[in-house]
Amino acid sequence: MNTPSHKALVPFVSVENMMKLVHSIGIEPMLIGLADAIESDFKRWDKFDKTPRVASHSAEGVIELMPTSDGEVYGFKYVNGHPSNTALGLQTVTAFGLLANVGDGYPVLLSEMTLLTALRTAATSAMAAKYLAPKGATTMAMIGNGAQSEFQSLAMKAIVGITHVRLFDIDAAATEKCAKNLANMGLTVTKCPSAQSAMEGAHIITTCTADKQYATILTDNMIGSGVHINAIGGDCPGKTELHRDILLRSDIFVEYPPQTRVEGEIQQLDPDHSVTELWQVITGQAIGRHDVKQITLFDSVGFAIEDFSALRYVRDQVSNTEFFGNLDLLADPDDPRDLFGMVLRADPARALE
C-alpha cells in the first residue's frame, strides 16, 4: 500500500478484515505468500536493525515489543504470552503491529496481529523445514494442539508437502478441536494417546505447548535419527519443551542467537554452544541438512523481521481492496506549528459563537 506519508489517516486492518483477506487469498496460498515474504527478507538480513525483543515479565506471562527497520520502513509488534488465559476463555497470545515511513516517522499501516502472528509463525516453521527436514517428508507429529496447531499443519502441507499429521495434547478436547478443524483439509489426521505414539513414523516433530515452565515434552529416548524437530513452544526465559540431551544430539538452527539463547530451548546449554543462524542457510552461507541420519532442530522463538515481513505482505495485499479502514490516529493541523490552535477550533462552544 503506497499510502502517502503526509496523510493523517492511517490504514487499519481489523480482525474482521484480516479474516476476509485470508479467505480472499485462501489459507494455504496466504501461508505460501507469507513464507516467501519472510524468506525474501531473510535473504537481506544485513539490511535490518536487529535487537532482542523488549520484554516485561510477570508471574502470569509476558508482554513484549518487537521492533526492526530495513532503513526505509520501521515496524514493530506488540505481543503478549499468558498461558493461563485459556482457562479464562482468553487467547494465550494477542498482538497488533505497525509499519511506519522512516523518512518522516508517519505510520503507514496498523494491523491486528493475533491471527497474523499465527499465520507467520506457521509460515516461518514451514520455510525452515523446507531447508532442514528430510527429503520426501510426509508425516508430522503435532505435540500441543492449541491455537497454533492447525496453522502449523496446513503450512507444512502447503510448503513442505506433508500428507499426514499425528496429533497429541494432554487435553483431549484440544486434540478433538484440531482434528475437527483439519477435516476435509487434504490431510490424513490421526489422534494419538501419547506424545511417543504421535511420533511413530513422523519425519517432522512440532512441539507447541503453552505452560510457562521448564518442561520435558520430549525425552531423548523418543527421538530417533533423521528427523527434523520444529520447537516453537519454548519462547521465553524459564520455558522449554525438550530434554537437554536432545539438544546435544541435534544440529541447531535459530533466528537471532542473542534472543534465542535467553528465550529458546538453547537456554539450557552453555552460552558458547554452537548454533547456525537460519538466514545463513537460506543464503547458502551455511549447510542445513547434510545427512539422512542427522537430527535438525529449529529452535524458533519468533523474531521481529518475521513480523515486519508479515506486515509488509499484508500492506501489499490489502492495497486497492476494501479489506482495511482508515483511522484518525494522527493530529493534522493546517499549520504543523499550531497544534494548540487545532484544539481550540475543535471546541464546540467556539463553534456556536
Residue type, 332: D
pLDDT band at 4 (very low <50, low <70, confident <90, very high): very low
Same domain, 130 and 233: yes
Same domain, 44 and 65: yes
Task: Give catalytic residues, as residue numbers.
Answer: 235
User: Could you tell me the CATH number of the domain that includes residue 54?
Assistant: 3.30.1780.10
SS3 of 199, please? coil
Same domain, 42 and 174: no
Average pLDDT score over residue span 33-59:
96
Per-residue pLDDT tens for 338-349?
A: 999 999 989 988
Same domain, 135 and 281: yes
Is residue 16 one of the residues assigned to a domain?
Answer: yes
Same domain, 94 and 133: no
Number of domains in the chain: 2
Same domain, 145 and 285: yes
* Residues recorded for the chain: 353
DSSP 33-91: HHHHHHHHHHTTGGGS---PPEEEE-SS-EEEEEEEE-SSEEEEEEEEE-GGGGGGT--
Same domain, 133 and 229: yes
Same domain, 157 and 266: yes
pLDDT of residue 352: 63
Same domain, 166 and 288: yes
Answer yes or no: are the C-beta atoms of 132 and 296 closer than 8 Å: yes
Domain containing residue 344? 9-115+306-350
Residue among 128, 133, 134 at smallest CA distance from 281: 128
Is residue 2 one of the residues assigned to a domain?
Answer: no
pLDDT of residue 69: 98
Same domain, 13 and 157: no
Answer yes or no: are the C-beta atoms of 148 and 91 closer than 8 Å: no
Same domain, 158 and 257: yes
Average pLDDT score over residue span 24-46:
98
Residue 127 predicted with pLDDT over 60? yes
Average pLDDT score over residue span 225-235:
89
Residue among 273, 282, 222, 279 at smallest CA distance from 252: 273
Alpha-carbon radius of gyration of the chain:
22
Mean pLDDT of the chain: 93
Per-residue pLDDT tens for 128-156?
A: 999 999 999 999 999 999 999 999 999 99
Residue 247 predicted with pLDDT over 90? yes
- Say which residues have a Cβ less than 8 Å from residue 180's Cβ, sequence separation at least 6: none
pLDDT band at 353 (very low <50, low <70, confident <90, very high): low
CA distance 207 to 209: 6
Answer yes or no: are the C-beta atoms of 261 and 307 closer than 8 Å: no
Same domain, 67 and 200: no
- Report how many helices (DSSP H) and strands (DSSP E) the chain contains, helices first: 12, 17
Is residue 176 one of the residues assigned to a domain?
Answer: yes
Per-residue pLDDT tens for 63-83?
A: 999 999 999 999 999 999 888
Is residue 130 one of the residues assigned to a domain?
Answer: yes
Structural domain ending residue among the three candidates 302, 324, 341: 302
